[in-house]
Structure 1
Amino acid sequence: MSPAPDAARREAEHNLDVMKRMRLAEKAILARAPEHDLEPDLDRIAAVMELLGDPQRSYPVIHLTGTNGKTSTTRIIESVLLEMGLKTGRFTSPHLHTIRERIALSGQPISPEKFLAAYEDVLPFIEMVDARSATEGGPRMTFFEVLVAVAYAAFADAPVDVAIVEVGMGGGWDATNVADGTVSVVTPIAMDHQHFLGNDVTEIAAEKAGIIKSGSLAVVGVQEPEVAQVLAHRASEVGARISFEGNDFGLLTRDLAVGGQQLSIRGLGGDYDDLFLPLHGAHQAHNTVVALAAVEAFLGGGEQRLDPEVVRAGLAAVASPGRLEIVRRSPTVIVDAAHNTAGALALRNALEDSFNFARIVGVVAILKDKPATEMLEILEPVLDHVVVTRTTSPRAMRPEDLGELAADIFGEDRVTVIHELPDALDVAAGLADEGGGVSGGVLATGSVTTAAEVRMLLGATEV
């Protein structure tokens, strides 16, 4: 056999082996307690990190919490830092299509080979901690804790110049919080995950404030006054500097533009004009304001203006898959991962602000533990018709139950119940064209899973 075919055969065998090992690793990780059934305790993840030599302390971290906007803000920070020539690590959750999306190196999902290398490095220590926990009557490490360990190890191995890390839930006891952020970012806080975080915004804020560490710089988006007070108290308590949107930095102007919006921003270190952001909605403008302040805080302690041309290039390259994302034309299909009331409100405002459909039909699938009634009430004014359905998630609400809620809000003549998501998408496309022609649109929303599955059905699998 000639050398070239032999090399091709070995490469094919290697790729098959990697794919097989990746499937086995993912199956093993998914067999652990899921992220919505977490264990609010840092002991296990801290033990694994210590056994590994605390890799999360080998690079600076920008740490993000909040209720909505975390992933988009993380991606915006990453894009600007990449434009500045830094090697970045990004950790976000949940994922749309593959578990590897959660761990990105310099803007790209971690490769299967690098994921496996990090996973196989940390697995013996995870198993040691699992065994120790079992002897004390405790649980194994969760799905999310394992992914945090893999991410922090992969970032150290790369190595990265900076890691931009989004919490999974909360802050203080979130597994990501074994790292100490040089910059702590808090996007707007609202009600969500009350069974874990608390029953009012001040309780939730107190938990999320746990990512603000001694000597760090905290960059805070627009908050309710009582939330701002909690965050300011935490900063004072631990000796961190804190800056608030609307006081220390903010949005100067915002104008709609083809494919996005044009912004002028007052940062911590100076003003930035003529910024094009290829994302829709006022909430994304505010995410950008916070992201830019976070980059200023990281690179110059908030005291230096960044190169405006670099900022412009970094923002122009931003993408946020599954967030007001157009995934098809004729009719236009938009996916949005709104999964709580704050997300639904931001979505409604963005639809009213940035789109001009003659008719818009919603494809809505919501998880059982989410505030479906409130979300539907928020979206009702901007949807001419709603097709309720379900995703493949075991947590999905039954279409019949969601349909009853929707009928009470929209009226029965504006609601269609379809059991399978692909069929629901087809029905919605037909309804959007009905009377609306080319100016009709479809909005698929209600959960991250809804956005992900519609993206996949329409062939949009790149992130």
Structure 2
Amino acid sequence: MPRVSRPAFGPELREVYAALLERAPENWIEPDLERIRRVMELMGDPQNSYRSIRIAGTNGKTTTARITEAILRAAGLRTGRTTSPHLHSPVERIAVDGVPVDEEAFVQAYRDVEPFAQIVDAESEEAGGPRLTYFEYLVAMAYQAFASAPVDVAVVETGMGGTWDATGVIDPDVTVITPIGFDHQEYLGESIEEIAGEKAGILTERALAVIAEQPELGAADVLAERLQQLAAEAAVEGEQIGVLSRTPGVGGQLVTFQGMAGRYEDVFLPLLGEHQAHNALLAIAACEALLGGGETPLGSDLLTEGLATVTSPGRAEVVRQAPTVLVDAAHNPAGAEALVATVRESFRFTRTIGLVGILQEKDAEQLLATLEPLLDSVVITQSSSPRAIPADRLADIAREVFEDEERVLEAASLPDAIQRAVDLAEDAGDQFGGVVAAGSVTLAAEVRDLLGAGEED
């Protein structure tokens, strides 16, 4: 299968991105905000020059951020958005007015931060500490870029956790917590209560909170206790807000939402899956909170216009027809459960083939066990990430999970793996087979790349 090439990074972006990657990796954190606070202070605290919505949780953060931003743009506000990780290019992490900044603006943001980062690096190293991390530097760049634009409001997705996440140097007007599950236990804790405690670190006394219904009772209890301690005003799904009804359709679904300030009947959401309706609910409530303190309904035309523009690349996204190839960045059991439910609801595949690659720090056995009932066969592969589980080792895990060696195929080369999955989906002239590619963000990105899906927008 031929590769569809994307334009290579320009020389300056390559240089800047290489310098960022030399810093501590994105999946590394330590409980210390002093470095990021110091660099922002030296820069004049640009993050205080606009309003903000900060989003934490395990699954749904990026889509919730994208929907929130789309509604705010429909309301006439100039927006900034920072999400992570990126699919194809680091410029995707910093968006203004719904569009990733260009390479020149990304490089300029890096240069704007550079002299201050050098000071903080030196101070930290002199005290025996580390330099600014990759993620801390990117947060500083995003906040600076938003101030330079300038934007009216920033929609900020946490990188990992909440309490110690570098995005926390901002003082949000609204906080959002999506469903919390097990992920990044090596940093956030082994119990759901510990993980929820880290996510709850984004809540403040001042910010109005929007809280998703929690699949884990322990997480709900931790969030309720934190809200009570802060005496913070909150809209909780299942109490003040909710998805009242939804009807799946071609290319999306019709949803009736109960927001904080109003009821919104039969709104079309151009995303697949029940979980996306709940992400949209959180976004609607967050916008109600920001725009009218949770007391003024959004206009029906505004909401319709905002939702009509929503996309969520790499999340239950069809990137090829005949046979259908669906990519999803599901990389933990909860994300895989949502994907399975979405495929069963929205597609009528007569044969479903998995294309799976997983990173080393993830619970591969549980991910595969969640996907197994959906799949007739699975092609095990690996992305180009150095953290990818080698295909032969992952295939051994899959054989144990599937308990049938004939259902598990292996192809370390991703182009070869895609071709094998497509061939299996079309086996014996089957016109209604489908391929579901999942397991990591990097796998989703590379499948999109190989099949020529549009750039992140």
TM-score, normalised to structure 2, is: 0.96
Q: Distance in 2 between matches of 1:44 and 1:212?
A: 21
Q: 1:190 aligns with which of 181, 184, 188?
A: 181
Alignment of 1:255 with 2:219, yes or no, is no
Q: Distance in 1 between matches of 2:217 and 2:409?
A: 41
What pairs up with 1:97-246 in 2 under 5 angstroms?
A: 97-223=88-214, 224-246=216-238
Q: Alpha-carbon deviation of 1:245? A: 0.3
Deviates more, 1:223-232 or 1:39-48: 223-232
Q: Is the 8 A contact 1:358 1:436 kept in 2?
A: no
1:282 corresponds in structure 2 to: 274
Determine helix, strand or coil for the equivalent of 1:192. Answer: coil
Identify which of structures 1 and 2 has the higher relative contact order when contacts are C-alpha pairs closer than 8 Å and 6+ apart. 2
Deviates more, 1:32-41 or 1:321-330: 32-41
What pairs up with 1:85-100 in 2 under 5 angstroms?
A: 85-100=76-91
Q: Alpha-carbon deviation of 1:99? A: 0.2
Q: 1:27 aligns with which of 18, 22, 41?
A: 18
What pairs up with 1:266-415 in 2 under 5 angstroms?
A: 266-410=258-402, 411-415=404-408
Q: Deviations over 1:4-29 (max 9, x none)?
A: xxxxxxxxxxxx9x932222111111
Q: How many residues align?
A: 448
Q: Alpha-carbon deviation of 1:239? A: 3.4
Determine helix, strand or coil for the equivalent of 1:303. Answer: coil
Q: Is the 8 A contact 1:232 1:242 kept in 2?
A: no
Q: Is the 8 A contact 1:279 1:319 kept in 2?
A: yes
Q: Alpha-carbon deviation of 1:343? A: 0.6
Q: Structure 1: which 5+ residue stretches go unaligned? A: 1-15
1:10 corresponds in structure 2 to: none
Q: 1:430 aligns with which of 418, 423, 437?
A: 423
Determine helix, strand or coil for the equivalent of 1:35. Answer: coil
Q: Alpha-carbon deviation of 1:461? A: 4.1
Q: Distance in 1 between matches of 2:436 and 2:167?
A: 33
Q: 1:455 aligns with which of 445, 448, 451?
A: 448
Q: Distance in 2 between matches of 1:202 and 1:460?
A: 39
Q: 1:436 to 1:200 in 2, by over 3 A?
A: farther
Determine helix, strand or coil for the equivalent of 1:387. Answer: strand
- One-letter identity of the residue aligned with 1:406: A
Q: Alpha-carbon deviation of 1:421? A: 0.6
Q: Deviations over 1:239-298 (max 9, x none)?
A: 321110010010011001111111010110010012111111110011111111111011
Any runs of at least 4 consecutive aligned residues in structure 1 with deviations exceeding 6 A, and if so which?
Answer: none
Q: Distance in 2 between matches of 1:173 and 1:251?
A: 32
Alignment of 1:75 with 2:66, yes or no, is yes
Q: Distance in 2 between matches of 1:164 and 1:327?
A: 27
Q: 1:419 aligns with which of 386, 402, 412?
A: 412
Q: Distance in 2 between matches of 1:435 and 1:250?
A: 45
Q: Structure 2: which 5+ residue stretches go unaligned? A: 1-7
Percent identity between matched residues is 54
Determine helix, strand or coil for the equivalent of 1:36. Answer: coil
Q: Alpha-carbon deviation of 1:436? A: 5.9
TM-score, normalised to structure 1, is: 0.95
Q: Distance in 1 between matches of 2:241 and 2:418?
A: 42
Determine helix, strand or coil for the equivalent of 1:362. Answer: strand
Determine helix, strand or coil for the equivalent of 1:202. Answer: helix
- One-letter identity of the residue aligned with 2:262: G
Q: Distance in 1 between matches of 2:228 and 2:111?
A: 41
Deviates more, 1:428-437 or 1:181-190: 428-437
Determine helix, strand or coil for the equivalent of 1:255. Answer: strand
Q: Distance in 2 between matches of 1:229 and 1:382?
A: 32
Q: Distance in 2 between matches of 1:397 and 1:296?
A: 43
Q: Distance in 1 between matches of 2:452 and 2:49?
A: 39
Q: Is the 8 A contact 1:337 1:445 kept in 2?
A: yes
Q: Deviations over 1:412-457 (max 9, x none)?
A: 0101011111100001000000146221111111000000000000
Q: Alpha-carbon deviation of 1:168? A: 0.2
Q: Alpha-carbon deviation of 1:119? A: 1.3
